[in-house]
């Protein structure tokens, strides 16, 4: 097998010991270069002794070990009138879009939503692993979690440089790790997949490879998460299981961890909050050791640990046997831009949330008073000096990655348009700054309003919210001097 070890020069960087197998298509080698440089394969210009490497074959290029192969992106001047929508988005400082590689919108939307979480982005930047073949190790043998984490890191780094990208390597790694995502239709193209399944599997891969942040304030009894995912996305339920058919059986108490909450949609459900509350008390049947038979139990759950980033799935799909498909519930279920999880929590957690909640309330009261004072000053022709503000931590000191107020702010929505989970189209809607939102429809990125986000609640053929991502509501307070007055 013609396999060589070459050195790749890219700008001022040198990548030694890059393995090349000339039995394979050059695109696989270019995918390795993408992993190393962040330059998309179609934008690469790989040269050796004056010859340019093609995409489909190696041509007359002859290799030998330790050959130097300069690689650089092709950069051509482009004018606004010649730009497509994705290039215009880059010029306007909009986020990079992702090309649909054939029913891969479910993955594109997931990637765009998760990109809004700063601690996750930081953990990926610090992830040292790679998947370029080293020492004869092929890509898949490094393990799916390693390959997926490294490819997502490289993809985000490339997206930060702007322009629409083709997520070739991440799609390949997901297909290798989860063959069902690589299933093809009778027409030969990739089948549509469920975006929430993709979200769950991608997060599970990251959970295995991204360690938790160290917390110097953690005490002996503080939570000890093993990964950044558990730290910032993971919550805990306190549960109680009580038999309703006898008083002689003591309730069973326990704890359950979660990475997302489920909102089940009934005929009379109108609001997301009600759907979440309904799920916290449910009935089930199990064997009773006291009665010696199956009996009805009530399971009550309360949240004892709120994560900083709360994922909520609307359970919109159910299996229809007569059609052998996951049919969709189109019902309109309203969701808020700001969400309060206080009444979903245990009494103990509620007590811990109160100090920060009181700070939020005091700030709101202060804003009302200041608004009135500013109106009075404007009438007198006076100007109010701008205040210097600081942000307070959204975590409990001993529990990094938690939410210490119960208040959340919507930061991403993943929607589905269509009638079943294995058809239709997925789109990500992400908050950019303040109340500015961006619609990420594969490679097409555009600005949308708050009102358009609220229209995603369902009720028709338009996009329906499927997965919501809430981040912590940040408290900003004026910086005060030592004497207690505001800083000028």
Catalytic residues: 105, 425
Per-residue DSSP letter, 113: H
d(CA 105, CA 421): 12
Q: Which residues pair with 136 in a beta bridge?
A: none
Residue 351: its H or E element: helix 347-379
CA nearest 286: which of 238, 249, 256, 255?
A: 249
Q: Is 445 exposed, middle or buried (0-12, 13-18, 19+ CB in 10 A)?
A: buried
d(CA 144, CA 158): 21
Q: Which residues pair with 440 in a beta bridge?
A: 428, 445
Q: How many residues does the chain have?
A: 488
d(CA 54, CA 143): 30
CA nearest 89: which of 428, 440, 430?
A: 440
d(CA 484, CA 206): 45
d(CA 376, CA 390): 26
Question: Do residues 11 and 70 make contact, with C-beta atoms less than 8 angstroms apart?
Answer: no
Residue 31: its H or E element: helix 26-37
Contact residues for 304 (Cβ-Cβ < 8 A; gap 6+) = 236, 237, 238, 255, 345, 346, 348, 349
């Amino acid at each position: 097998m013609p396999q060589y070890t070459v050195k790749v020069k890219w700008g001022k960087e040198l990548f030694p010991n890059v393995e090349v197998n000339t039995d394979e298509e050059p695109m696989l080698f270019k995918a390795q270069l993408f992993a190393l440089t962040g330059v998309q394969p179609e934008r690469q210009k790989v040269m050796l002794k004056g010859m340019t490497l093609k995409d489909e074959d190696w041509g007359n290029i002859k290799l030998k070990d330790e050959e130097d192969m300069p690689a650089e992106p092709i950069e051509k001047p482009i004018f606004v009138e010649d730009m497509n929508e994705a290039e215009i988005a880059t010029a306007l400082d909009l986020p990079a879009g992702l090309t649909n590689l054939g029913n891969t919108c479910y993955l594109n939307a997931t990637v765009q939503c998760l990109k809004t979480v700063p601690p996750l982005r930081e953990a990926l930047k610090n992830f040292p692993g790679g998947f370029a073949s080293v020492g004869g190790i092929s890509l898949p043998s490094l393990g799916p979690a390693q390959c997926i984490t490294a490819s997502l890191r490289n993809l985000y780094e490339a997206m930060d440089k702007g322009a629409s990208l083709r997520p070739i390597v991440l799609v390949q790694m997901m297909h290798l790790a989860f063959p069902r995502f690589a299933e093809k239709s009778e027409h030969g193209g990739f089948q549509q997949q469920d975006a929430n399944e993709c979200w769950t599997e991608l997060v599970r891969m990251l959970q295995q490879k991204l360690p938790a942040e160290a917390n110097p304030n953690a005490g002996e009894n503080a939570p000890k998460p093993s990964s950044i995912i558990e730290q910032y996305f993971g919550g805990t339920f306190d549960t109680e299981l009580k038999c309703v058919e006898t008083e002689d059986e003591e309730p069973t108490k326990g704890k359950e961890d979660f990475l997302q909450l489920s909102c089940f949609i009934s005929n009379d459900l109108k609001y997301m909050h009600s759907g979440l509350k309904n799920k916290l008390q449910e009935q089930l049947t199990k064997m009773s050791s006291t009665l010696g038979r199956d009996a009805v139990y009530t399971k009550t759950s309360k949240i004892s640990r709120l994560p900083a980033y709360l994922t909520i799935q609307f359970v919109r799909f159910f299996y229809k046997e007569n059609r052998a498909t996951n049919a969709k519930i189109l019902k309109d279920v309203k969701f808020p831009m700001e969400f309060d999880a206080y009444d979903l929590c245990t009494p103990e957690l509620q007590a811990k949330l109160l100090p920060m909640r009181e700070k939020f309330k005091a700030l709101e009261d202060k804003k009302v008073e200041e608004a009135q004072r500013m109106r009075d000053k404007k009438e007198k022709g006076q100007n109010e000096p701008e205040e210097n503000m600081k942000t307070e931590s959204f975590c409990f000191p001993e529990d990094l990655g938690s939410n210490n107020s119960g208040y959340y702010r919507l930061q991403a929505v993943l929607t589905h348009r269509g009638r079943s989970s294995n058809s239709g189209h997925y789109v990500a809607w992400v908050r950019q700054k303040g109340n500015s939102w961006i619609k990420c429809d594969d490679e097409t990125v555009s600005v949308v309003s708050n009102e358009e986000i609220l229209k995603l609640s369902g009720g028709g053929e338009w996009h329906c919210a499927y997965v919501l991502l809430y981040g912590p509501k940040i408290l900003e307070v004026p910086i005060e001097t030592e004497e207690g007055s505001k800083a000028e």
